[in-house]
């Protein structure tokens, strides 16, 4: 059996089980204070408040005489305070508990309203209502209203601090147990990771489903109390409170998403990937089979993507976040066949040599390989991702034979993608390509709206006397976004590559704003260049630019916004056939591998 190159073994020894275990415990301990604060708020404050509110529904009502009453304030917060005397079963008692939640706060008008009522009653010598615990008459309260706004406010700390803390602890413990000792680990590093210790690789569907369900639950614990409070404020004549209703609306969306994920998991089952070859290989092939709990239907198309990604951390402190950048990517469709009464998918890709192997995930940056499979279906869609081991073994598949890129639907998709982007027609000795204005307007219009939103926020902030950074930075950033989006929406480009010359012309609303012309004899070859990328969840799309290279080393853009390396290469090869220009292999590979 093939083994990894000699350079892989030292990397494994540097990241042994003991080092990872230590880092896992340190990470878990770091999350402990956050979790303790959030859970402490839940069990020592929120739950006792809810319990008190429930018990007080059974307390007995009497009248009390106020001995003092005032609205105490400090640092922008206030608290209604009072002492009072009441009688119960012939005995006299004195109390000072005014409300269920005894904090000073500025959440809503509750404290001000209650404080004013008590002060007025004290000045007029009027009796007030009091509720007494019949099991312990020394316990009493003047107002037994449960303030959902305060409960929601406390739950913010529960969710944020508790959620972050528990997430950090979970990540630390998961990292601690992610590696295993294996006698062949030095030569076969994939065997030292639990999830890669066999060819059967689980998807991230179950973990993702639970994560969204838990997050949706916590979010709605906060959102609906806030929404109830906001709705009450709207009825009281405060239309600004309508803004807060966005929280329960988002909560409903999260619950819908969670239900969708649960339905999808129950419909398709675990659907693990059995790798063939195992592990996947750079300079060889990556693929395998997936058994889906779905009745076989040859008309269902399962689109699949193989990506090599570079995962890295950006920012610092509280603004630290993890991002991914595509290093290499290929797309196609899984070949399907009947397997019992279910469906078996077969996925296979040829992979370029020299690409990064899978790295250990115990550093701030590493490379990883991922297979995404998606099918649009009535009801829940099939949508699974698999993080897989890929190493330079040069191995080929033994059972899976047909490449996903050679699926008939993959070829049709590439042609359709090229036709959507390149308005291509043949002319004597070459081709003419036209990119009209207003092409693919959705994202550009969204950019204009987003940019104008930032400008508006900055201007409103300036009117309210906000710090100068808002009136300057927000309009400047928003203006640049809106201008760039509008320019991209309104500009058109015409390219003509014939037997005499390569000519490009840019027009903005009918006016020429740029262009270039070079002799055909100066054009050496065609190639592709990696451009922007777009991400949705853990799925990535890389856009490429088609270029003409000159003998002097310059490049001229002749095609834009080609979605995917395979599409860009086919477009270059098609234009090469019509013009007689070669496609540079080096340029094509660099277009997919640039890091």
Mean pLDDT of 451-467: 71
Alpha carbon distance 50, 47 (integer Å): 5
Q: Is the pLDDT of residue 8 over 70?
A: no
Specify the pLDDT at position 522: 92
| Confidence label for 195 from pLDDT (cuts 50, 70 and 90) | confident
- Cα–Cα nearest to 193, from 10, 5, 362: 362
Q: Is the pLDDT of residue 68 over 90?
A: yes
Mean pLDDT of 96-109: 87
Specify the pLDDT at position 275: 95
Specify the pLDDT at position 308: 93
Specify the pLDDT at position 383: 92
Specify the pLDDT at position 126: 94
Alpha carbon distance 30, 361 (integer Å): 19
Q: Is the pLDDT of residue 314 over 50?
A: yes
Alpha carbon distance 58, 70 (integer Å): 28
| Confidence label for 200 from pLDDT (cuts 50, 70 and 90) | very high
Domain 273-402: top CATH class: mainly beta
More confident residue, 245 or 230: 245
Mean pLDDT of 379-403: 92
Residue 400 backbone dihedrals phi, psi, to 5 degrees: -80, 130
Mean pLDDT of 77-96: 94
User: What is the overall mean pLDDT for the chain?
Assistant: 83
More confident residue, 289 or 147: 289
More confident residue, 220 or 349: 349
Range with top average pLDDT, 108-122, 129-143, 162-176: 129-143
Specify the pLDDT at position 403: 95
Asked if 323 and 534 count as a contact pair (C-beta separation under 8 A), the reply is no
Distances (CA, A) of 300 to 2, 57, 343, 578, 593: 36, 58, 10, 35, 32
Mean pLDDT of 546-574: 86
| Confidence label for 594 from pLDDT (cuts 50, 70 and 90) | very low
Specify the pLDDT at position 439: 74
Specify the pLDDT at position 470: 62
Specify the pLDDT at position 320: 65
More confident residue, 473 or 484: 484
Specify the pLDDT at position 181: 62
Question: Running DSSP on this structure, what letter comes out for residue 349?
Answer: E
Model confidence over 466-477: pLDDT tens digits? 555 566 777 888
Specify the pLDDT at position 384: 93
- Cα–Cα nearest to 334, from 312, 305, 303: 303
Specify the pLDDT at position 192: 81
Ordered by start, the domain boundaries in the chain are 58-143, 273-402, 419-593
Q: Is the pLDDT of residue 59 over 90?
A: yes
Residue % of the chain over a pLDDT of 70: 85
Mean pLDDT of 278-306: 93
């Amino acid at each position: 059996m093939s083994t990894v190159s000699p350079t892989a073994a030292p990397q494994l020894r540097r990241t042994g089980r003991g080092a990872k275990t230590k880092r896992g415990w340190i990470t878990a301990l770091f999350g402990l204070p956050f979790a303790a604060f959030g859970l402490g708020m839940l069990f020592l404050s929120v739950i006792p408040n809810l319990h008190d509110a429930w018990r007080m529904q059974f307390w007995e009502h009497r009248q009390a005489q106020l001995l003092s009453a005032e609205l105490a304030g400090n640092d922008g917060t206030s608290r209604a305070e009072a002492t009072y005397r009441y009688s119960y079963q012939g005995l006299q008692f004195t109390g000072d508990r005014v409300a269920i939640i005894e904090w000073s706060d500025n959440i809503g008008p509750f404290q001000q309203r209650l404080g004013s009522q008590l002060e007025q009653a004290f000045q007029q010598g009027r009796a007030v209502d009091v509720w007494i615990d019949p099991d312990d008459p020394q316990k009493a309260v003047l107002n037994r209203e449960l303030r959902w706004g305060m409960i929601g406010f406390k739950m913010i700390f529960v969710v944020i601090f508790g959620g972050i803390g528990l997430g950090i602890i979970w990540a630390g413990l998961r990292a601690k147990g992610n590696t295993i000792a294996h006698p062949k680990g030095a030569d076969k590093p994939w065997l030292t990771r639990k999830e890669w210790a066999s060819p059967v690789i689980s998807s991230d569907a179950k973990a993702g489903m639970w994560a969204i369900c838990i997050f949706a639950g916590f979010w709605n614990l906060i959102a609906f109390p806030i929404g109830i409070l906001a709705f009450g404020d709207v009825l009281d004549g405060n239309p600004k409170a309508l803004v807060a209703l966005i929280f329960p609306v988002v909560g409903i969306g999260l619950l819908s998403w969670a239900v969708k994920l649960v339905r999808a998991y129950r419909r398709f089952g675990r659907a693990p990937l059995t790798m063939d070859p195992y592990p996947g290989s750079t300079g060889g092939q990556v693929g395998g089979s997936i058994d889906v709990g779905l009745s076989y239907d040859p008309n269902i198309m399962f689109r699949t993507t193989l990506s090599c990604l570079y995962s890295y951390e950006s920012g610092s402190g509280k603004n630290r976040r993890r991002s991914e950048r595509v290093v290499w990517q290929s797309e196609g469709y899984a070949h399907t066949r009947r397997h019992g009464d279910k469906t078996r998918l077969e996925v296979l890709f040829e992979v370029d040599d020299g690409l990064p192997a899978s790295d250990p995930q115990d550093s701030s940056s590493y490379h990883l390989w991922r297979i995404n499979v998606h099918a649009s279906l009535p009801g829940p869609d099939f949508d699974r991702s698999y993080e897989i081991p890929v190493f330079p073994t040069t191995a080929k598949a033994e059972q899976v034979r047909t490449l996903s890129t050679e699926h008939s639907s993959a070829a049709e998709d590439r042609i359709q993608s090229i036709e959507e982007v390149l308005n291509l027609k043949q002319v004597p000795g070459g081709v003419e390509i036209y990119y009209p204005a207003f092409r693919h307007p959705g994202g550009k219009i969204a950019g204009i709206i987003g940019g104008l939103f930032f400008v508006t926020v900055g201007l409103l902030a300036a009117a309210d006397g906000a710090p100068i950074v808002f009136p300057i930075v927000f309009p400047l950033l928003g203006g640049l976004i809106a201008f760039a989006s509008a320019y991209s929406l309104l500009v058109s480009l015409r390219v003509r590559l014939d037997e005499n010359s390569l000519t490009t012309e840019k027009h903005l609303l009918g006016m020429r704003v740029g262009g270039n012309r070079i002799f055909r004899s100066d054009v050496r070859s065609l190639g592709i260049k990696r451009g922007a990328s777009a991400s949705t969840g853990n799925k990535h799309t890389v856009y490429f630019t088609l270029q003409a290279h000159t003998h002097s080393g310059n490049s001229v853009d002749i095609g834009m916004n080609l979605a995917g390396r395979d599409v860009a290469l086919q477009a270059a090869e098609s234009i090469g056939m019509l013009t007689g220009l070669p496609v540079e292999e080096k340029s094509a590979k660099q277009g997919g591998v640039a890091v």
